[in-house]
Amino acid sequence: MPADRTRARLFDREAERYDRARPGYPDELIAEVLGPSPEGLSVLDVACGTGIASRAMAQRGAKVHGVELNPAMAAIAQRHGIPTQVAAFETWEPAERTFDRVTCAQAWHWLDPEVSIRKIASLLRPGGRLCLFWNVGRHPDDLAAALRDAYERALPAGGAGLTVGYSTNGRKDLTLDFGAITGVLAACDALDAARTHSFPWTRTYSRDQWLDELLSHSDHSALPPDVRQPLFDAIGATIDRLGGSFEMSYVAVLISASRR
């Protein structure tokens, strides 16, 4: 089921931070999405945010149009040259347009999957592709364990819930399972069988860069200040104690299916 749309609105107040702090995607993934002839491809980027993925595709010559729920996020995408309409994708009016690619980066969980997949199938030209992709990060194991302790100490028992997996994943902790997503795609008769590709890459974060990145996530930015500040102090102190920076191991996962 889609995540709480009320919480999705929190991204608007952190739009500049989101654009600054969120990681991009490896070149190999973008090349796989667009294929060998990206020049002039028509792409609809659903829930495009500030246009991080949109810009990477446009830089290769694709003609990218965005749809985004949050006005401040959409304004940044526009500022970067991505024509973007402010709307929930499920009710957005495509005006009879069709596309060679429909993409959704790091945002499928905010959508109604059954409504969205039917709409996407109607928007794809024959042979066009739906491409869903995510970055999944893993900390060094010693830092992941120390961060779990910091979260447990700082968060009050029975208090605000956090989806802290991405914040404390070690390199041996995470099993990637996208079965629910591939199941939705498989149930759509208009699409061929889904394919999954993985693209490993890394990024180094300083203490301050990681704290900035955490505030771009709705669960952390929604914390009351009297809870968030002690937690962030504990996270920062933990990173400082273990060297002040770290290398995050990312896997960018692409799930794609073609229109029959």
Burial class (CB in 10 A: 0-12, 13-18, 19+), 96: exposed
User: Which pLDDT score, from 0 to 100, does residue 76 have?
Assistant: 98
Q: Where are the domains of the chain?
A: 5-258
Residue 174: what residue type?
A: L
Instruction: Give per-residue pLDDT as tens, 122-179.
Output: 999 999 999 999 999 999 999 999 999 999 888 877 555 566 667 888 877 666 778 8
Q: Over range 179-191, report the average pLDDT.
A: 93
DSSP 88-122: -GGG---TT--EEEEEEES-GGGS-HHHHHHHHHH
Alpha carbons within 13 A on the beta-carbon side of 132: 20
Instruction: Give per-residue pLDDT as tens, 27-47.
Output: 999 999 999 999 999 999 999
CA–CA separation, 120 vs 110, rounded Å?
15
Work out the mean pLDDT of the chain and round it to a whole number: 92
Percent of the chain with pLDDT over 70: 93
Flag whether the pTM goes above 0.95.
no
User: Which pLDDT score, from 0 to 100, does residue 18 have?
Assistant: 96
CA–CA separation, 117 vs 26, rounded Å?
25
Q: How many CB atoms lie within 10 A of CB 207?
A: 18
Give the CA dihedral 180, 182, 103, 116, nearest 10 degrees: -60
User: Position of tokens 């700082």?
Assistant: 154
Q: 25 and 55 in contact (C-beta within 8 Å)?
A: no
For residue 44, the cross-strand partners are 65, 102
Instruction: Give per-residue pLDDT as tens, 67-77.
Output: 999 999 999 99
User: Which pLDDT score, from 0 to 100, does residue 175 have?
Assistant: 64
Q: Looking at the structure, give the CATH architecture of the domain made up of residues 5-258.
A: 3-Layer(aba) Sandwich (3.40)
Whether the pLDDT of residue 2 is over 60: the answer is no
Q: How many CB atoms lie within 10 A of CB 199?
A: 19
Handedness of CA 3, 190, 95, 61 (dihedral sign): positive
User: Which pLDDT score, from 0 to 100, does residue 1 have?
Assistant: 43
User: Which pLDDT score, from 0 to 100, does residue 184 have?
Assistant: 93
CA–CA separation, 75 vs 86, rounded Å?
9
Q: 68 and 77 in contact (C-beta within 8 Å)?
A: yes
The set of residues, in sequence order, having a beta carbon less than 8 Å from that of 251 and lying 6+ positions away, is 135, 136, 138, 176, 198, 199, 200, 201
Alpha carbons within 13 A on the beta-carbon side of 177: 5
Q: 222 pLDDT band (50/70/90 cuts)?
A: confident
Residue ranges of the alpha helices (H) in 198-252? 207-214, 218-221, 225-241
Q: Over range 214-241, report the average pLDDT.
A: 93
